[in-house]
Structure 1
Amino acid sequence: MLDDGICCCHFPFANTRPCHISQCILDPQDDDQFASLGEKLRYLKGFLEDFVRSRGDHGKVKVLERQIEDSVNRAEDIVETYLYTVRSIVKSKNSQRKDYKIFQEGLKHVIEEIDSVKKEVVEICGNPCDPNNLHSGRYLFGSSSCHMPSSANPVVGLDKDLDKIKDQLTGLPYNLEILTIVGMAGIGKSTLAKIVYDDPLIVYHFYVRAWITVSQEYEVKNILIGLIRSVAQLTDDISAKYDDSEQHYKVLKDGINQLSDQKLAEQLYRSLKGKRYLIIMDDIWYNTAWDDVKRSFPDDKNGSRIILTSRLTEVAQYVNSGSPPHHMQFLSVDQGWELLKLKVFPKQGCPLELEEIGKQIAEKCRGLPLAIVVVAGHLSKLSKKRDLWFSVADNVGSLVARNREQFFNIIAMSYNHLPHHLKACFLYMGAFPENVEIPVWRLISLWIAEGFLKQELRKSLEQVAEEYLEDLIDRSLILAEKRTNDRVTTCRMHDLLRDFCLREAEKEKFWHVMRRHDLFFPEGLLNHRRLCVQSDIFSYAITEYSNPQVRTFLSSNFSTRLSFLSESVFALMGFKLLRILDMVSYYFSHFPTQVLKLVHLRFLGLSTSGELPAAASKLIRGSGKWYLPFSKRSALPVSISNLVNLQVLIINWGWRENHCLPFDIQTMTQLRHIRLKGAVVYFDDLFLAETNRTNPLVLSNLQTLLTVSSTNFSKKIVSIIPNLKKLGILVSKKNDEHPTTFLNYLSSLHCLETLKLSFSLQHEKSSTISQWNAFPPNLRALTLSGSHLPWEDMVTVGKIPNLEVLKLKDHAFSGRVWEPVDGGFLALKFLLLENNELEFWKATSTHFPSLQHLVLRLCDALVEIPCGIGEISTLQLIELYSCGHSAVRSAKRIHEEQQSIGNDDLEVRINLV
């Protein structure tokens, strides 16, 4: 595994030069050097992506891989150190020449290193770009097995799965059907398949049953031979061959291994022809494994079935695109405890005094059957005493860790099977704390800032990143926690997968993670280019660590008290080449201006208590000075424009106030996301003057702007952010125009998908929506807060053609009665009603035909949820938080009515607080 320079298909000179590097080049020949370096790196990238994938993890290849990584890192250090010196440090002409000479010599040396590595690659492997030197990518070595997992494991939490699979196996249609079972390692795919395989009804129903474990490294011949032997129900030493003339099986002791794949396929076909059969192909990794054998399965329209298990959703969908795969779920706490009991106490019940602590142990296994079985194996050997079980509860992680090599070997197959570009994305998950939901927007922003993504035609980097994430989810390596608009909004990783991820990241020097209770930086971290701190270590060891090579610094402070830092931390730790700095879990007393020297920053996340340095209240431009018009208004430092590579800006301010956005930020054309919390962006006069130029600079990459003041949000500003996808606006009346005038400009934002409007009008009504020009045409999510609109205006909202998410908060609409009309909200899937005076909601199932999720919060006056809401066929979940008793009763009534007619898919959750 390499750093982002190669393994993630990104290096500043592999595709483009760093932003503004042309201003730092003193010799035209440098252009040729950069071009040459980029060409060599693209060559080596092709080697790693194609050659390694096709020929496996050979020792010589690993050595080359490490050499490439070292060379790339040295090239990065030389170039980025020089750029840092040029752009952030004022020096004399002589000093500049000296620095430039050192830079040229270093660059020349690293190019020679890369030439040497390239030569070695050619000598050992040939030209990696030559297709004659590549295999097809299929693993045609290793073996497949007829071995079946034991079905002795008790059936816990699989009852519904078992019933569903059995119905599909024994019911209609009579055509040959293929069922697929998908899930992460250790979740019970093979166990479920084996229970089905041995079920008496299934044994009776099918004339022939056969099982083959395909595995990651399969051979077509072994699959066919294994199935033939399984069908014939003979031993490994005796094979059966169908004799057409005598219409019976002729036993052969020798010769089957000498048959060609085609002959074996024909023999398997004849063995199954005319019989109702069940074939289970366990642990499939490749589409080709199915393609190689599918013609051997006759379809005699007699109800034959095939079951495939895989960790990869992609494989399941390829095999049977017409039917969704059966996804295995984690066990609930009760189910986990039931499995634990049955494994520890197979013949007698659990003593009452162990019940509570036993449930705690089961819960800590996070619903993964494999982990529960491992812990149960340990408990079964202990004396049944509470103190011993309490000790186990405190050390569940270490118990699993004792058996983790077995588990890690299973996970390693999934990891090694990953395409090269996904490995870094997977390892990045190790930086996030355990049991934490990770906001997808943040994860994707970090991936992009790291340079992990390939730019694809007609796709934004965010779209590519979403595809990468879905790919990892489909491979059962990341768990999708929440979805909105059919997109994953939060995700997480199972604890055991995360442990594997951390181990691999440390082994590859991809990450070093400081755990929660670590108080000192360990020695030997100078080779790590990514550092993650999950403790309050700055309170103890701030002066004991310095690493100028760090490119990524993430922090997650678990301390119960606020930790305030001095901006001197950056100088003390020697940071100067950082690309990613995320320290939102620590507070600075003011905006740390030292950060503005980090010219390579792509991602900046900070928290400040709100006080800004005096210099930031006075912006100097040339010979003139511009003073902030309001004493309570603060500004971002104007020198933030030094961060020309910045893509993401996240600042949490101590309290809500207007913060001026310097006009210089318009020159930061790499900006993709601006997120200010506890603050509202107020565009300054010079920024507005810049937008009035004939050809103003356009922030074409900017996709997120949260949150901006409506006070001077003009049509000109809209024109320079044409590709905005997410926008938050605080509406307040601070000028002569009506406060909602600016909304008429939003219709020109054709890319806008998410709009959040918060009104602060001191109970002044925000007029009616009918006075607004139009909503953006591609709007998918709308949040209104404090707007005090009449319920009649919901007719206009309902006409937004692509609206899927609607959140109405804090009296967004006023009035006691809401009576929707037909023909609206055709695409709406999620509806939130929060803190309003609504009493009577007169709705039917036709008013929200696509609704999936309804949330009511602080709706004290609501008499009832309309019974027609429960009749919406797509509805999956109703949630109530702190609502009145009448509304709660109606929700329960709807749930009972739907259950009485067999609708078990609808879930109702009631929270009193």
Structure 2
Amino acid sequence: MINSDYGLLPKSAGWRKRAEMAYALIVSLKQTLEPLLDSARSRIQISSSELQPIYEDLCYLKSFFDKVKSLEDSNSVEELEKDVKDVLQNARDLIESHLSDVVHSAGDGSWNSSAGFSPKMVKVKDKLSPFIDVLKAKENELTGNQQLPPDVAVPVPVPVLSRINHGIVELEYEVKMLQRRLLESDSALQVFYIVGMFGIGKTTLAKEVYNNEDTVYKFHMRLFVEIGVKYKLEELLLRLLRPLLQERVSEVKKEETVHELGDRLSESLSHRTYLVVLDDLRDMRVWEQLRPYFPDVGNGSRIMITTRMTNMDCFRKYIHQKRLLTHQASWWLFYQIAFSNMKMDMHQKKGYVEIGWEIAKNMGGLPLALVEIGEVVSKLPKTVECWRKVAQNMNSHIQETSIPKAVNAGLPQHLKACFLYLCLFQRHYDIPTSTLIKLWVAEGFIEPEADQSLEQIAEEYLEDLVSRSLVIVDEQSYTGRIKTCGVIHKLVRDVCVTEARQQKLFCIVNEGTSTKNQRRLSIQSDVLLEVMAVSRVRSLVFMCADAEHQDPLPVFERVKWLRVLHALPIRFSKFPDQVLKLVRLRYLAITFEGELPSSISTLWDLQVLIIVSSRAISSPVFLPLEIWELQKLRHLHCMGFDLPLPSTDLNLMKLLTLSGVSFRTCVDGVLARIPNVIKLGIRFNPADHAVEVSCFKAVFSYLNHLESFKCGVTSQSEAAFSLLGFPSGLIKLTLGGSGFLWDEHTSIISDLPHLQVLKLRWRAFCGPKWELYEGGFPRLKFLVLEDLDIEQLIARSNHFPVLQKLLTRRCCKLEEIPLDMGDIPTLEVIEVDECSISLVESARRIQKEQEELGNENLKVRIHSSSDEL
């Protein structure tokens, strides 16, 4: 039996977590079946009648979970969910086992389905059908009475700091600052945002400002409405209207439309100076729907919004970023709560204080955690040993608080597995976005869309997680993309690691860890995997310290259905042959000596291949010709290897990135067969100068989609290659050692209409003077000059019309940065790293002049090991 206000919506956290992981499993299994259903795309031929019924059930399950976001309690539904997840897991095991057997048994390259497969799939369908029937019946029942909730309806919000009645901690300054902004004389309607992660105290701060006596005095009408993640627009408008209409609220008719209610609200506010607080806004679409009903009549009215979201966009706005508490403030908040029931003098409290300080420090400045753990501690028996046990088992106590619910509240189904997956990486590790996105795609977490690549969709997922204050950006490129990121808070990561293990999404493996029934392992220490239960493992991600292995790891023989193998930290003496039997691999990253075997073609499902050979870097070797048979390959990083010219008519049409190769790869016959590459990184060896210069023009004639090009010359060369023919769509260009002359070659680069990032490193250009001309670099945002012998830079503000950052590093001969460059209206940062005293002084002159002109946006940063600077 299934109970719900909106549908099949169980309340319990257990149901929610299983639903989240089931969703990721559904998406992944759908992607496994889709190519098998298309005989033209699949090398393995299986009758579509065997898989189509299961595929249709998966499509229904996905559509159902896409609609249903709020969950109610039902033990029977929890069991039902568990059962369907087990059925789906078994179905995936059967399919992948069958595919592996077919590939391994094919001696002549004819990969046809074996006879015993159909009965197994029939059994899967038979087990899945009752579950589907129950869901469809209940959905039909519900849609006869009401619609399933809109996209914005998600789990019930968790109260954050409503239980803090122990005084305001570290808020006085923030209250005064917001109060000053709120009461300023500007008569136009203004919108204020208080932004930050869950549990950080946004609501507490908003209430302090809302109830301040100066606020009460100025605003004739004050409204405070909590929105959360479960709302109806009509109800929100009614809640705003009730205090305005007071005894006339009965005038509101039930049949009034949203627009009519909104007009009533607008009319009621038009004659008053009002302050409206919209608390806990989880979706900016809510504000877009409400905004037209708040009139701007020039009387100094204000709207304050508390939100986790950072993707707001409003013309008149003020954003206050709520910060975590300092160590001292954290201790003071924890002390007020944990010691509230303790009647002891300070001498008696001494042992408790030491443990309490450690507990408070481990909360990372998050008020919600300090409050909830403080309440746990306050109810303990008054013994030091009890407090010590809490400190030693902090994670288990955190799981019993509202923090796990708060982490997931409002997170859409398609983001949940992606978010948890970030915690697979080590703590304090800056996660490279490029690696993370490749792993998400290979794991099957990304649902394809017709007009976007999987990588583009994954990048949007990551940006969405950042906007929800769950992921922090560690480094961002000047094209606006996220380069490295991490989980926003230690406690959030700990919660997610525990949840991921419970739901068998992944398990972090250290010594003594049980891996039974786990599907993904993150190996973060030297462990004996050969004695662990790994037969069901789909992903092995080695995050341990670099280690050498003379022999292949025995574990490779026991993970025959592996899809992801990230083993870069392990250096193998040769390519491990056992890996070639992992025919379901989509992602392979490995370090080894010697050559890549020709049987790499057996890994026909590979999407990502990252190979590093330290011996081959100095003298690159060609990859085997069979590399061209990997038709699904999307990313190839082969440091120390080159792509050979294929002897047959094969193309890698899906290849998007190619890096690590030398100029020997850049010949017509190779580049014409990878026409969709958008990122190319190559190395130039002057020893092959005669061959490479003659063929280099071909690089750009075939790569019409190229956006990023990086070229490094391994030793000194003069005009190593030609710059003619650069594709007009190039966005990022990095050059080093190429030996170009400023006056002869920079005009070609400066005319590129879309170039945003230009990095010129050691001997990229040579000569004492670079004189720019007007009209060049129309979109350049980021310019790096590093280890160059340039002495004079002659430029005006209109030579870099939209430049945002200028970095000069170890350009010891460069005398100064032209004073006129300070007048570039978009310039935000000038960074000088280990340069001459005169250059540093010129940068400081620019800053001083701009400050005198009222420009406070320009920052000058000086880095130097010299005391004189």
Q: TM bucket by the smaller chain?
A: 0.7 to 0.9
Mapping of 1:780-859 within 5 angstroms? Answer: 780-792=731-743, 793-859=745-811
Secondary structure at the aligned position of 2:129 is classed as: helix
Secondary structure at the aligned position of 1:828 is classed as: coil
CA contact (8 A) 2:154 2:409 kept: no
Shift of 1:733: 3.8
Secondary structure at the aligned position of 1:12 is classed as: helix
Residue 547, structure 1, aligned to residue 553, structure 2? no
Shift of 1:649: 0.6
Amino acid corresponding to residue 221 of structure 2 in structure 1:
V
RMSD: 4.3
- 2:621 maps to 659
| Per-residue deviation, residues 530-577 of structure 1 (Å, max 9, x unmatched) | 12111121xxx23311422211111100x4x634363142345x1100
Q: Which of 836, 840, 848 is equivalent to 1:888?
A: 840
Instruction: Mark the CA change 1:820 to 1:313 in structure 2 (over 3 Å): closer, same or farther.
Output: same
CA contact (8 A) 1:337 1:358 kept: no
Q: Which of 109, 122, 126 is equivalent to 1:108?
A: 122
Q: Which of 554, 565, 568 is equivalent to 1:581?
A: 565
Residue 509, structure 1, aligned to residue 526, structure 2? no
| Per-residue deviation, residues 475-498 of structure 1 (Å, max 9, x unmatched) | 222222222201112111122221
Q: Which of 279, 282, 289 is equivalent to 1:285?
A: 282
- 2:584 maps to 600
Q: Which of 125, 146, 168 is equivalent to 1:153?
A: 168
Residue 306, structure 1, aligned to residue 299, structure 2? no
Amino acid corresponding to residue 71 of structure 1 in structure 2:
V
Residue 492, structure 1, aligned to residue 486, structure 2? yes
Q: Structure 1 CA distance, aligned partners of 2:366 and 2:70?
A: 33
Q: Which of 731, 747, 751 is equivalent to 2:705?
A: 751
Amino acid corresponding to residue 508 of structure 2 in structure 1:
V
Q: Which of 10, 26, 51 is equivalent to 2:30?
A: 10
Q: Structure 1 CA distance, aligned partners of 2:665 and 2:395?
A: 58
Shift of 1:302: 1.8
Mapping of 1:4-153 within 5 angstroms? Answer: 4-7=24-27, 10-13=30-33, 16-17=36-37, 24-25=44-45, 30-50=47-67, 52-53=68-69, 59-89=75-105, 100-126=114-140, 134-137=148-151, 139=153, 152-153=167-168
Q: Which runs of 5+ in 1 are unaligned?
A: 232-238, 243-251, 347-355, 613-634, 691-695
- 1:187 maps to 200
Shift of 1:827: 1.0
Secondary structure at the aligned position of 2:82 is classed as: helix
| Per-residue deviation, residues 439-496 of structure 1 (Å, max 9, x unmatched) | 1111111111112222212211111111111122222222222222011121111222
Instruction: Mark the CA change 1:271 to 1:79 in structure 2 (over 3 Å): closer, same or farther.
Output: closer
CA contact (8 A) 1:566 1:588 kept: yes
Amino acid corresponding to residue 664 of structure 1 in structure 2:
E
Instruction: Mark the CA change 1:862 to 1:165 in structure 2 (over 3 Å): closer, same or farther.
Output: farther
Amino acid corresponding to residue 682 of structure 1 in structure 2:
D
Q: Structure 2 CA distance, aligned partners of 1:376 and 1:840?
A: 62
CA contact (8 A) 2:628 2:646 kept: no
Mapping of 1:855-870 within 5 angstroms? Answer: 855-870=807-822
Q: Which of 514, 518, 521 is equivalent to 1:522?
A: 514
Instruction: Mark the CA change 1:139 to 1:780 in structure 2 (over 3 Å): closer, same or farther.
Output: closer
Amino acid corresponding to residue 681 of structure 2 in structure 1:
G
| Per-residue deviation, residues 393-431 of structure 1 (Å, max 9, x unmatched) | x9989668745644515524xx24222222221121121
Instruction: Mark the CA change 1:129 to 1:787 in structure 2 (over 3 Å): closer, same or farther.
Output: farther
| Per-residue deviation, residues 500-540 of structure 1 (Å, max 9, x unmatched) | 222221222211122xxx213416x22x2112111121xxx
Q: Structure 1 CA distance, aligned partners of 2:827 and 2:366?
A: 29
Instruction: Mark the CA change 1:195 to 1:909 in structure 2 (over 3 Å): closer, same or farther.
Output: farther
Residue 532, structure 1, aligned to residue 548, structure 2? no
CA contact (8 A) 1:440 1:490 kept: yes
Residue 720, structure 1, aligned to residue 733, structure 2? no
Residue 570, structure 1, aligned to residue 542, structure 2? no
Secondary structure at the aligned position of 1:729 is classed as: strand
- 2:597 maps to 637
Q: Structure 1 CA distance, aligned partners of 2:38 and 2:571?
A: 31
Shift of 1:72: 1.8
Secondary structure at the aligned position of 1:53 is classed as: coil
**Paired residues, number:** 818
Q: Structure 2 CA distance, aligned partners of 1:891 and 1:380?
A: 56
Between stretches 117-126 and 776-785, larger displacement belongs to: 117-126
Instruction: Mark the CA change 1:877 to 1:221 in structure 2 (over 3 Å): closer, same or farther.
Output: same
Q: Structure 2 CA distance, aligned partners of 1:395 and 1:845?
A: 61
Q: Structure 1 CA distance, aligned partners of 2:331 and 2:161?
A: 28
Amino acid corresponding to residue 600 of structure 1 in structure 2:
R
CA contact (8 A) 1:55 1:135 kept: no
Amino acid corresponding to residue 542 of structure 2 in structure 1:
S
Amino acid corresponding to residue 477 of structure 1 in structure 2:
L
Return the TM-score normalized by structure 2.
Answer: 0.83
Instruction: Mark the CA change 1:296 to 1:432 in structure 2 (over 3 Å): closer, same or farther.
Output: same
Mapping of 1:36-435 within 5 angstroms? Answer: 36-50=53-67, 52-53=68-69, 59-89=75-105, 100-126=114-140, 134-137=148-151, 139=153, 152-155=167-170, 163=177, 166-167=180-181, 170-172=184-186, 174=188, 176-199=189-212, 201-218=214-231, 223=236, 227=240, 240-241=246-247, 271-286=268-283, 289-290=286-287, 297-313=294-310, 316-317=312-313, 320=314, 322=315, 326=319, 328=321, 330=323, 336-337=326-327, 339-340=329-330, 343=333, 368=366, 370=368, 402=397, 405-406=400-401, 408-409=403-404, 411-412=406-407, 415-435=408-428
CA contact (8 A) 2:537 2:561 kept: yes
Shift of 1:206: 2.4
Q: Percent identity over the alignment?
A: 32
- 1:236 maps to none
Q: Structure 2 CA distance, aligned partners of 1:21 and 1:456?
A: 18
Between stretches 879-888 and 322-331, larger displacement belongs to: 322-331
CA contact (8 A) 1:181 1:189 kept: yes
Instruction: Mark the CA change 1:381 to 1:435 in structure 2 (over 3 Å): closer, same or farther.
Output: farther
Between stretches 659-668 and 269-278, larger displacement belongs to: 269-278
Shift of 1:281: 1.0
Secondary structure at the aligned position of 1:75 is classed as: helix
Shift of 1:595: 0.7
Instruction: Mark the CA change 1:836 to 1:472 in structure 2 (over 3 Å): closer, same or farther.
Output: same
Q: Structure 2 CA distance, aligned partners of 1:395 and 1:870?
A: 56
Q: Structure 2 CA distance, aligned partners of 1:114 and 1:184?
A: 39
Residue 765, structure 1, aligned to residue 718, structure 2? yes
Residue 708, structure 1, aligned to residue 661, structure 2? yes
Shift of 1:706: 0.6
Return the TM-score normalized by structure 1.
Answer: 0.79
Amino acid corresponding to residue 824 of structure 2 in structure 1:
I
Q: Structure 2 CA distance, aligned partners of 1:883 and 1:377?
A: 55
Q: Structure 2 CA distance, aligned partners of 1:569 and 1:806?
A: 46
Shift of 1:24: 4.7
Instruction: Mark the CA change 1:548 to 1:904 in structure 2 (over 3 Å): closer, same or farther.
Output: same
Shift of 1:640: 0.6
